[in-house]
Structure 1
């Protein structure tokens, strides 16, 4: 009996196994069947052009693994029902749905399985449609939603954890309640989106505690919101006053929190006629990071750029740029103004830039707070009544902020710390037209030191306080600016026109536009020709002045120092000594000779032209040299000429009896300002043609004396020895040497009475050409 039962059970199990196997094979075969307008791929790259055409029969009812689906209007109903719910029989969990079309009046309900819903760039637009996310790990990307239907309240609604909304564009224009993205889920990432909402300025929705027109609402924890452009505008006024908000992050007092959120690198624009908020944080919003955002708010009655209206702890507001404008009330950063319950502690407000314009303005406010740091903020406002930094509480640090208020009412305060205990207010700068810079009414144990306080009252006198437990000291009307002065080494020539340059920089990087620089050369201050101190005035941290290099700088071990005078709160300073290297100038000398071919005894003009580039030189002296030998006057003194207007001229007479040769005449220029310079000209000294001076002779003797002279053309005897031949009637009777032009010799005249031709021939040598004289001898 037992065996029979066992056999029946075995047969039944075998039959069930066989049926499961057949079903699996059938499902596998169905997966290969075409489906209208749909392409299914397993984890492959997406390409909209890969879409194939399939039959209308929907046989792909089972999916074993995640897939990629392209969906258009034709096959929409294959994947979504009439309510927009995903067909989970057709779409596998963790699959990707590509909306490859433009859709109108659709609702996409993502509530049963986790999917990625993506669009095609520049193609996928959802008109008057909405996305509802009610399951975890859904990702929305590359989709544009453009809604003008007043009946659609929320374009994207997230009520599940770990959603991702990336690179989408959400545009809403409505006259009813209007929300771009509304988030209840935790761990949501909203990145790289454009969210723009135009909606009514209306009263608050007290059920959710948020405005009825909001671009982004986050009512949850651990969310990341970064790199988005978020804007909100009012379309109609439904309440007076009404409210619109760009971004709201908040919890409530019934247990819902909005903590550990990061809001960074976003741009917010909010513009309306009544109450307008840029970034609004409500209850239970601890541990929030708000940094690197650009927030611009323009409100009619009230413009609030960044508000945390209730208690908050461990929140960082860092490096944001905030601009606000309102004809009535305008705030920059406001924390714990309502302080409904809980503690406000351990919050940091740092490195922000805030500019607010309105009737009543507050730049940074934080109330009833403990352990607050307000540091390195640059804030300013133009208003009737203004508050710069307004804080109350205990253990507050206000450090290194720049506060500038332009307020028409004396009921304004750049830094206010009233009815509080323990604070350090140091290293801040206040510039205002208020009565006081710091108000400490009813506060104690406050240290106000080392600030620049410049209001109607100055320095320590600009702190209003009565409690003697407060310390007020070392506050000044202007900050002391240390400077550093530098100048450059000089390399120039005597009398060069140069620019002396100094650079005066401040330790805080600000430009210096006051004071002047003097220059000292070897500790002697430079002066002009009127003996007036030379000053170079500083502009944009530069000081420059033209100066002519003095010849006294042409020496070793000389240096220049630039000395900055300082001005007011700007301290003086001087540069290091920089080396001066000044050399003599270079001149060019041109030499002009009156003749280029001369003979002994000739007088020649010699002219030297001295130039410095294209300018004639004045001063200095010229001497001349003939073949390296200095030319002297007749008294043996060196001829020295002064150079005037670039010229030096003299006359020179060459000696008699100069040998024939090529010569060089050199003009040598010297000056304490210039390097030695020379110019030359070439002269050829030719032989002279002398004259023989003699007389005809009468003689009775057989020996007759012949006396004659050989002279230069100027009548002076020639130099050296010259061979002379004495001829009578063509016959040579004597050959003698004439020394220094003197001929004195005898010849035999034992010939008959009568007239005989007498000829004296002076031979040619290296100084003189040959010459002859003819006369007669009469023998009686």
Structure 2
């Protein structure tokens, strides 16, 4: 019998069978038996002669049209075909060429949306490319699924077809050291909308120093999936390159993407040579993307570990659990570059950790919860004019972490910024809850706990200094509001306003343990630290309460802070830390109730240290006149006589028509030896140029003896005649002009300043010399 007649009879038998089954079903039946349905479909598939390529003439699927109980297309007019792909029929839907598999005729010729259930996948295929494009795809969807959670190994996947929706779901793909490719999952800009759902992508390879696990260039949704990869930390070219490492987890270079309900784990597998090597977890370049309800983990890093890096606008990052750890530098979410706007980061839990030691190149270990960084802002007094980032928000996040130096939130050069409702609990030597440089910044309703070791500033490579404080602003003269925050600071201040004007500090509750002041205002040559308002706060420190817990220069408003400490006049010592051999200020202040008695401008004050009145070199008592309630002796040399056990200082006010005579309590003072040290500066220059190498000697007395030599990568700097260059110390300073040798190549070098002194011995300090081509 002719083969076509055979096929016709076989088709009629199947058709009659299906019709009979349909009529046999009771009208009340509403549930299709899926197992029976699948058996029918496989029967139809296997009944077809697999040698035939004319799939258009053979109905190999079950078609579901307009029934609410069955699969439907997004478009009501387009029916959905569901096909079980088996070893017998896969070639009807996919074209296999060697080890590569592509879209085949069954997909191309169908006029319906398709759901292809892969129950079989050829073992020898290592490339799966859905890259066919057609005008007829534009209103159809294609779903590639597997009811068996098909497991694939070392498979490169390209999703590039222009279906209305292209979905890949229920797959497990793993990569090991046998995989030699550099591309893993790529979603091209041909797709209208690509969906990865319930997929596992696990890359466990060594020495992956280039590329990314998932590259997204078209609109994509990834949901309910597991993504893990191991990458090498590589050096970022911050000057002329793209300002990214060479390898990272997920690269999103498309608008309108969604990542939700995923677990994403990025693991460092080592690092490149050199210094400042880095790794990105998720890199977001385009706009209108949402990252929500994901768990994002990065660990095992040595260098700079960035969880999420955003360099675009109108994105939402919400309700994620983010955990980043590195020896040197860890960051949860970074909004950065120039002019980004309208980004919302909210309701995330961020945990960042770094070491209490140092990076291999010397920088202190540091961690950041959330950051906004304007790459166009060069430091100094900030102005809102120009193309700064604006209208970005960090709201209702929980930030925890631990590192030698740690910042809960850092803002560097942004405008119209909202930092509200965040809960921050961080531990380190110099924890900073929120630090900001910018304009029109609102810092409100945050709950901050700083568990710090000390209240001193540490050296840092950061834009903001490393210092223990709950809130901090620098170089800000336009509007910044700090209100309704609750701050607990251990061994540091609650708020530090540094070189900034016009800050409004209102209605905050600050409790400080181990430090005298809750709010401190300082000035500089750039900005005077004036016109700041500190009002209606609850301020409690180890030593003071209310307005007395505020340390601020004149021309600031400090009032109505509670609790009011004492009724009437009191007299207090301002400074209790003194360094042997230093010329320091000895000062005291009159208070009335809780405010500085600035109306008192009469009378004089003397001081007693260890019971002895301070005198000048001629033996005469030194008196300080009272000006606006304060009396000070400037440039008084702290001598060895101060350095006794249980040393104390006391101030005596002579009295006047403004205020009766009053004596302060004896207050314990701290005397420190101020051990000498040397500090140098990092240098950036070009090949063959002349540079200035500088160093400063920090010591309790002026230093005008000793010599300094500089070493580059351990080799002492010499002149053109091969002689060592010595720099004599004058007024604690040294400076050397040095021309780089012609054979010195571009790169990063260690530069060491070495003091050679019979008085101080040998002191060293290491910085970085960057030579550019």
The answer to whether the aligner puts 1:355 opposite 2:400 as a matched pair is yes
1:452-601 map, 5 Å: 452-455=509-512, 456-457=514-515, 461-462=519-520, 464=522, 467-477=529-539
Alpha-carbon distance in 2 for matches of 1:242, 1:122: 41
| Pairwise CA distance, 1:151 | 2.1
- The aligned counterpart of 1:170 is 201
Counterpart among 156, 159, 162 of residue 130 in structure 1 = 156
Q: 2-side partners of 1:354 and 1:279: how far apart?
A: 14
Aligned to 1:401: 446
Say whether 1:249 aligns with 2:284: yes
Question: Which residue number in structure 1 is paired with residue 268 of structure 2?
Answer: 234
Deviations, residues 283-325 of structure 1 (Å, cap 9, x unaligned): 3x11111110000011122111111222321111111000011
**SS, match of residue 343 in structure 1:** coil
State whether structure 2 residue 144 is matched by structure 1 residue 151: no
Find the partner of 2:350 among 307, 322, 336: 322
CA contact (8 A) 1:370 1:396 kept: yes
Alignment partner of 1:86 is 2:80: no
Given the alignment of the two structures, is residue 302 of structure 1 paired with residue 316 of structure 2, yes or no? Answer: no
Instruction: Give the SS at the match of 1:143.
Output: strand
Residue 195 in structure 1 maps to residue 227 in structure 2? yes
Confirm or deny: 8 A CA contact 1:459 1:476 kept in the other structure. Answer: no
Would you say 1:273 and 2:301 are equivalent positions? yes
Output the aligned Cα RMSD. 3.3
**Is the counterpart of residue 107 in structure 1 residue 127 in structure 2?**
yes
Matches within 5 A, 1:739-750: none
Alpha-carbon distance in 2 for matches of 1:317, 1:226: 15
Return the offset for 1:75: 4.5
Separation of aligned partners in 2, 1:48 and 1:130? 30
Contact 1:244-1:277 at 8 Å conserved across structures: yes
| C-alpha separation in 2, matches of 1:330 and 1:378 | 16
Larger Cα-atom Rg: 1
Structure 1: segments with no counterpart, 5+ residues: 1-24, 36-43, 251-257, 480-780
Residue number in structure 2 paired with 1:17: none
CA gap of 1:339–1:387, structure 2 versus 1, over 3 A, is farther
Deviations 1:470-500 (A, max 9, x none): 1112222359xxxxxxxxxxxxxxxxxxxxx
Aligned residue among 189, 202, 213 for 1:180: 213
| Change beyond 3 A, Cα 1:223–1:168 | same
Give the secondary-structure state (helix, strand or coil) at the position aligned to 2:84. strand
- The 3 A distance-change label for structure 1 pair 71 and 106 is farther
1:293 match: 320
Conserved? CA contact 1:451–1:459, under 8 Å: no
CA distances 1:656-700 after superposition (whole Å, capped 9, x unpaired): xxxxxxxxxxxxxxxxxxxxxxxxxxxxxxxxxxxxxxxxxxxxx
Q: Tell me, what secondary structure is at the counterpart of 1:62? A: helix
Partner of 1:692: none
1:170-192 Cα offsets, whole Å, 9 max, x none, are 11112223633210013x21111
Q: Is the 8 A contact 2:493 2:517 kept in 1?
A: no
Q: Which residue pairs with 1:96 in the alignment?
A: 115
- Alpha-carbon distance change, 379 to 145 in structure 1, aligned in 2, over 3 angstroms: same
SS in structure 1 at match of 2:375: coil
After alignment, is 469-478 or 424-433 more displaced? 469-478
Q: Secondary structure at the match of 2:301?
A: coil
1:442 to 484, 499, 505: 499
Instruction: Give the conservation status (yes or no) of the 8 Å contact 2:330–2:352.
Output: yes
Residues 401, 246 of structure 1: CA spacing in aligned structure 2 closer, same or farther, 3 A cutoff? Answer: same
Contact in 2 for aligned 1:268/1:278 (Cα 8 Å): no
Tell me: CA distance 1:73–1:180, structure 2 relative to 1, closer, same or farther (3 Å).
farther
Aligned pair in 2 of structure 1 residues 219, 146: CA closer, same or farther (>3 Å)? Answer: same
1:228 shift after superposition: 0.8
| CA distance in 2: counterparts of 1:308 and 1:351, whole angstroms | 17
Q: Distance in 2 between matches of 1:179 and 1:458?
A: 51
Contact in 1 for aligned 2:154/2:179 (Cα 8 Å): no
Q: Is 1:262 aligned with 2:290?
A: yes
Distance 1:31 1:289 in 2: 57
The 5-angstrom pairing of residues 371-450 of structure 1 reads 371-409=416-454, 410-411=456-457, 412=467, 413-420=469-476, 421-450=478-507
Do the aligned partners of residues 444 and 463 (structure 1) sit closer, same or farther apart at CA in structure 2, a change above 3 Å counting? closer
Report if the CA contact (8 A) 1:244-1:272 is conserved.
Answer: no
- Mapped partners of 1:362, 1:34: distance in 2: 74
Q: 1:29 to 1:213 in 2, by over 3 A?
A: farther
Q: Structure 1 161/208 Cα, relative in aligned 2: closer, same or farther at 3 Å?
A: farther
The CA distance in 1 between the partners of 2:8 and 2:393, in whole Å, is: 63
Aligned twin of 1:51: 42
Alpha-carbon distance in 2 for matches of 1:374, 1:30: 74
Specify the alignment match of 2:82 in structure 1.
68
